[in-house]
Amino acid sequence: LLWSAPELLRDPVLLQKGSEKGDLYAIAIIFQEVILRSEPYSTTGLTPE
């Protein structure tokens, strides 16, 4: 679920079905991890809520 787009997490039907925008979001997060060699959003200093 870490790589799921926020709009997909809000809708269980979309989460099962998926979308092109969700796929693009997921691949962007994966590219970010590869390029920065760190977890997503590790440079923002945000805490999970």
- Domain limits of the chain? 6-36
Q: Any idea of the CA torsion for 29, 35, 41, 44, to the nearest 10 degrees?
A: -150
pLDDT at 14: 83
pLDDT at 44: 75
pTM of the complete model beyond 0.95 = no
Residue with tokens 């269980």: 12
Residue with tokens 């805490």: 47
Average pLDDT over residues 8-30: 88
